[in-house]
Amino acid sequence: MQRGIALFGNNISYSISPVIHNTAFEITNLPYTYLTIDIHPDRFAKGIDAVQTLNFAGANVTIPYKETVIQHTTSLSPVARKIGAVNTLSFKDNVIFGENTDSAGFFNAYTTEIQALDRKTVLIIGAGGAARAVCDALITKTSPLKVIIANRNTERSERLGEHVRRVYGFDRTETIRLAGIEKIADTVNGIIQTTPVGSGLHTGKSPLPGSFRFHREHIAIDLIYNPIETVFLKHAARQGARTRNGISMLLHQAGLSFTLWTGVSFPMDKVIPVVMEHIKRRT
């Protein structure tokens, strides 16, 4: 019997997760279909109920539901509980299990860059679910000199700063406003962009002002994968920074979710060329 796996989000028509997972299901000959459910926040809870009723095997959860979905889970993995965000659900015997594969996906995708930032100062743009996973990976896998969180809504960045201090016992955290961020460009070594600014409805924009100066020692990672080179990454690359886009993380977190749902290894080597070809055709 064919079973469904859903991707819940709002305004996520750009997502290539269906291509990744349906390609992997085809390669492994597994009876699952992955489909996007673009849903308004008012209907999100009903959407979760519906897919459970329809015997879906699981779901991915993306912007803006990674934190709010926790209230709909009946159990959480230790890492999802620690991070306070969930990107993967699995449905079994009326249990809604929440997992977070973003942290491990981020680390596995950018291990070299993350290790290069050990004992250095890292600036995280954004304070949502993805930023929480990035904090987890940086703090549990390395020992940053300082983590600076900059967000549009400062209440949210302060909440994340407090979370990082309390849950990880990591005191070298600072929260700042996005306005005036260019002043600290020289004091940071890594810049990790975790907002949707640069993709979807925000394509052609950057969360950083044009006056933010990158340099050759900077490592700039944008979690956005569509477009493959955002304005943030273009500016960073043009000014000599080492840059990475979000495709590698997308594949790594997807692989971990795939294995959670199916118990089968993700056929990474076979999925990559199909996904790259899909991206090339789309651009």
Q: How far is the CB of 29 from ligand NAP (least distance, A)?
A: 26
- In our burial notation (b when 16+ CB lie closer than 10 A, e otherwise), range 17-44 reads bebbbbbbbeebebebebebbebeeeeb
Binding residues for ligand NAP, rule: CB under 6 A, are: 62-64, 66, 102, 105, 126-131, 151-153, 156, 194-197, 199, 202, 207, 223-225, 246, 249-250, 253
Nearest in space to 135 (alpha carbons), one of 149, 121, 145: 149
Q: How far is the CB of 75 from ligand NAP (least distance, A)?
A: 21
Q: How far is the CB of 248 from ligand NAP (least distance, A)?
A: 8
Tokens standing for residue 1: 């019997």
Q: Give the residue with the Cβ less far from ligand NAP, 111 or 143.
A: 111
Q: Give the residue with the Cβ less far from ligand NAP, 42 or 93.
A: 42
Rounded Cα gap, residues 38 and 101, in angstroms: 21
Cα pseudo-dihedral 138, 144, 150, 151, rounded to 10: 20
Q: How far is the CB of 153 from ligand NAP (least distance, A)?
A: 3
Q: Which residue is nearest to ligand NAP (CB)?
A: 128
E-assigned strands of the chain? 3-9, 32-38, 58-61, 75-76, 88-92, 95-99, 121-125, 146-151, 173-177, 190-193, 219-222, 242-244
- CB 213 within 8 Å of CB 185: yes
Q: Give the residue with the Cβ less far from ligand NAP, 3 or 200.
A: 200
- Strands 88-92 and 95-99, sheet pairing: antiparallel
Place of tokens 């950083």: 208
Q: Give the residue with the Cβ less far from ligand NAP, 90 or 257.
A: 257
Q: Is 66 in the active site?
A: yes
* Catalytic residue selected from 66, 92, 120, 234: 66
Q: How far is the CB of 26 from ligand NAP (least distance, A)?
A: 21
| Residue 134: how many other CB atoms lie within 10 Å | 28
Q: Give the residue with the Cβ less far from ligand NAP, 8 or 56.
A: 8
Q: How far is the CB of 232 from ligand NAP (least distance, A)?
A: 11
* Long-range CB contacts (within 8 A, 24+) of 201-206: 201/11, 203/227, 204/231, 205/231, 206/230, 206/231, 206/232, 206/235
Return all residues near 178 (Cβ < 8 A) that are at least 6 apart: 125, 150, 151, 152, 207
Q: Give the residue with the Cβ less far from ligand NAP, 95 or 268.
A: 268
Residues marked active site are found at 66
